[in-house]
Structure 1
Amino acid sequence: MVETKERVLSATPHPAAEASLSSGRRWAVVASLFLFMAINFADKAVLGLVAVPLMHDMQLSPTQFGLVGSAFFLLFSVSGIATGVVADRCNLKWLIAALAFAWAVAQLPLGWPTTFAVLLLCRILLGAGEGPASPLALHVVYTWFDDHERNLPTTIVQQGATVGVIVSGPLLTFVAERWNWHAPFLFLGFASLAWLLLWLWVGDSGTHRRRFSEEPGAAQAAASPARRLPILPFFANRTIIGVMLQCFVGYAVISIGFTWTPAYLRLALDFPASHAAWIFAMQVAMQIPVGVALAMLSHRLLARGVPSRLARGAVISVVCVIAGIAYCAIYAGVPTPVKVALMAIASACAIQTFSFGPMLVAEVVPAERRGALLAITNSIVTLAGLLGPIAMGKLITSGHGASGYQLGFGVMGVLLVASGLAGFILLNPQRPAKPLRAESAANR
């Protein structure tokens, strides 16, 4: 027994030595994935930023433009699920590199005059390449950090999305006004290629495993390494159901925001293009202080021994309710400056579902199934992006005009409040998923 224990301890690096060796590398990976998500969300935002000149030049109706916005999500979920199935078996470095290359291939053809069919095909291809991006990026982060360390790196990577939209709003609008609406797509295509070279230099997945001195979480304690657990039964877990519900509504907000918010600011609220771009950027900028504040609050609660059911589950549920109330207030009819502020609050709160959701999922599934579950749940909830933009386009086309935007925001508000209230009941990561309970019982 003594010899066995000595072998285990000697085979495991001392925590201080391990941290010293891996700290610089893992934060370099976090920084590169921050840029990865920045480009990812700039790609999403560009269509909305050039909406007015694109619609005018190609003579598209709001319904047709809404179709283009929704086309991005046609294969978004399918590719995410397909990637999730193989994520735990593939080299993550090369998988993420392939995604970045696909982004470039999808953006570059739009740098020149094109047809409606090519525009649709390029947005579909881009969606297929970006569907697995966020869950794969977080999966890589989780291979470098323990559960109790994940709040900060998760927030940093997710805030890359926010920074990408903040920077791309004024920058891509300037590029479009300086040249034409094709130029931003060309710019983003070359940005993806530049990031690909950076990732091939610094990128990699970690080899994180639980150290002998740490207490295992519910998922890790119940999982047996001898048998690979099936995926489907995990979707009966209440926490995963709650995460998917909140993230589904949150992604509807995101997809409508990227596709229609810049046009709403210009056509319904009468802001000029440059002002609309800066207002959109500042609205998105609200996500940074909100995200950092919530991450710090959750981290401190966890450090004080507050269960994750409250420190993560209850916190994000309250945030969803606040976002919903803000959107409902827009529909109630308030002055323009108040509408702008309420939209900033609502979007900043709604997007936090994609910071807290993956951490909650990672708590209730074992590491061997984490990559697949993160990718598949993300792919399912992003189906909301297929519905949101075209639904908003139909509201506008049907004659509602400016009130159609506000009606859409009001519907989103009601759904956010409902998902927040449901979260108080469903989100409880301390309760292991059903496959883990069955596995644990079989091992007794």
Structure 2
Amino acid sequence: MPTILSSTKRCTALVADTAPLQPAHAREAAQGRRWVIVASLFLFMLINFADKAVLGLVAIPMMHDMQLTHGQFGFVGSAFFLLFSISGIAVGLIADRVNMKWLLAALALIWAVAQLPLAWPTSFAVLLLCRVLLGAGEGPASSLALHVVYSWFDDRERSLPTVIVQQGATAGVIIAGPALTYISQRWHWHATFLTLGAVGIGWTILWLCLGKTGNRQHNASPALAVAGAAPRAASLRLRRMLGDRTVIGVMLQCFVAYAVIAIGFTWVPAYFRLGLGFAATEAGWLFALQVAAQIPIGIALAMISHRMLKRGVSSKVARGKLISAACVVSGLAYCALLFGAPPLVKVALMGLASALALQTFTFGPMLVAEVAPVARRGALLAITNSIFTTAGLIGPVAMGKLLGAAGDARGYEIGFAVTGVLLLIVGTTGFTLIDPQRSKRRMEGAPV
């Protein structure tokens, strides 16, 4: 009997000693898993932006083969955004109540389906329908990808994973520039759409094997965290949240920056060829290099912001004022295109301007997620994204009309300068509007 008791005590002690190891092991596994998710969503955004960039990269041969005018091609560019915002809002409203694994897989599959009909000769009507379908599938993509990331990371940990996922967009354009140009030159512009369709199907299969949502429910403000967990937070009126000054400031900056994206994907490669005189291959590489400038600039701004936050600087300064200053500098660089400069200098100015403007898509979602109750974070991210991406409906068409009226080279530069002036305005406005701490206090006191 003493022997049995002794053995029982030893077993109990062994279990007690090893029990704490299980949570530690689980935490390590979760740490590794969340970076696998980040890597998968990096690829998700890479494909997303390669899909967007392809139209501009094949603009000249497509316009030639299909006998499209500048106005028609600009309309095709804007058609992508016809359902982009609507689908973003519709999907955003259900994002907090559905399985994100299946939702993201469905979106990627829609992208592939939208690309494949363009792998063969087709009509203008089919081209329009495919771009509308692609836009409907891509409308919720960025905000939902970040929503999944934020479910794995606390607010103070989000800078690096946000930058990584957003740099997937940059990598998509960098890879698409030379790769899709080569495919178009080596085979035919139709082959670029076949390639993208196959890649989209491949990612869908990968995500179904690896995808998962985390369970982080942390906000920087303890009071807001409690509010987010309570039923009361779930009923907060979206209209009140959308009327918040920080949210408005973010949307204004992102709206103008998205016009930069839409115009860039549709017209910048053509500007490099027709406006600045570069050959097709050179234009593809220069477009990729211009986009590549976003990587060091994005990482640098994210590191600066992260270090400021660690030193106790408020996010009003570390995020709000930093991105507002970036918008101002971007606007000045675009306006400088109106002055005489060699072609390579103009390419460098555009690279700096677009790299700074596009950082709004890193800082903007972090600011919105910081002030939003957790229960409504997915919806607010998707809806704000859908509102500011309506700029995509305006930018390509406006540039096409400007080119028809002012001529190619000068028309491009006037259009870029107009976006520069708008960036100066929204950057300056952001210094006053964006204040996450004030917005969080307002959200906490919002009536049901």
TM-score (structure 1 length as normaliser) = 0.93
Alignment partner, residue 9 of structure 1: none
Q: Distance in 1 between matches of 2:131 and 2:436?
A: 36
Q: Does structure 2 retain, via aligned residues, the 8 Å contact 1:218–1:363?
A: no
Q: Aligned equivalents of 1:215 and 1:388: distance in 2?
A: 36
Q: Distance in 2 between matches of 1:436 and 1:276?
A: 51
Residue of 156, 161, 164 corresponding to 1:156: 164
Amino acid at match of 2:386: S
Residues 222, 437 of structure 1: 8 Å contact kept: no
The 3-state SS of whatever aligns with 1:423 is: helix
Q: State whether residues 217 and 225 of structure 2, in contact with CA within 8 Å, keep that contact through their aligned partners in structure 1.
A: no
Percent identical pairs in the alignment equals 63
**Structure 2 counterpart of 1:83, from 79, 91, 98:** 91
Tell me the secondary structure at the aligned position of residue 430 of structure 1: helix
1:225 is aligned to 2:230: yes
| Aligned mates of 2:151, 2:23 — CA distance in 1 | 16
- Partner AA of 1:240 in structure 2: V
Larger mean Cα displacement after TM superposition, 38-47 or 231-240:
231-240
Provide closer, same or farther for how the CA distance between residues 432 and 14 of structure 1 changes in structure 2, counting only shifts above 3 A. farther
Q: Does 1:344 align with 2:339?
A: no
Q: Which runs of 5+ in 2 are unaligned?
A: 1-19
| Secondary structure at 1:144 match in 2 | coil
CA distance in 2, matches of 1:15, 1:177: 55
Q: 1:109 to 1:232 in 2, by over 3 A?
A: same
**Match of 2:313, SS?**
coil
User: Following TM superposition, by how much is the alpha carbon of 1:370 offset from its aligned partner in structure 2, in angstroms?
Assistant: 0.3
| 1:272 aligned partner, one-letter code | A
Number of paired residues? Answer: 426
Q: CA RMSD in A?
A: 1.7
> Which residue in 2 is equivalent to 1:167?
175
Q: What is aligned with 1:315?
A: 322
2:53 corresponding residue in structure 1? 45
> Does the 8 Å CA contact 2:272/2:278 hold for their aligned counterparts?
yes
SS of structure 1 residue aligned to 2:424: helix
Cα deviation 1:371-407 (Å, max 9, x = unaligned): 0000000000000011000100000112432111000
Matched letter for residue 436 of structure 2:
P
Partner in structure 1 of residue 208 of structure 2: 200
The equivalent of 2:140 in structure 1 is 132
CA distance in 2, matches of 1:201, 1:112: 31
What's the CA shift for 1:436? 2.5
Q: 1:15 to 1:56 in 2, by over 3 A?
A: same
Which amino acid is the alignment partner of residue 139 of structure 1? H
Q: What runs of 5+ residues in structure 1 fail to find an aligned partner?
A: 1-11
Which among 281, 296, 302 is matched to residue 309 of structure 2? 302
Q: What is aligned with 1:123?
A: 131
| Equivalences for residues 54-65 of structure 1 within 5 A | 54-65=62-73
Counterpart of 1:176 (choices 184, 192, 200) is 184
Matched AA of 2:75: L
Does residue 21 of the first structure (1) align with residue 29 of the second (2)?
yes
> Retained in 1: the 8 A contact 2:245–2:439?
no
**Counterparts in 2 of 1:40-439, with a 5 A limit?**
40-210=48-218, 216-217=221-222, 219-223=224-228, 225-227=230-232, 228=234, 229-432=236-439, 434-439=442-447
The CA distance in 2 between the partners of 1:70 and 1:15, in whole Å, is 51
Task: Determine the C-alpha separation between the residues in 2 that align with 1:215 and 1:132.
Answer: 25
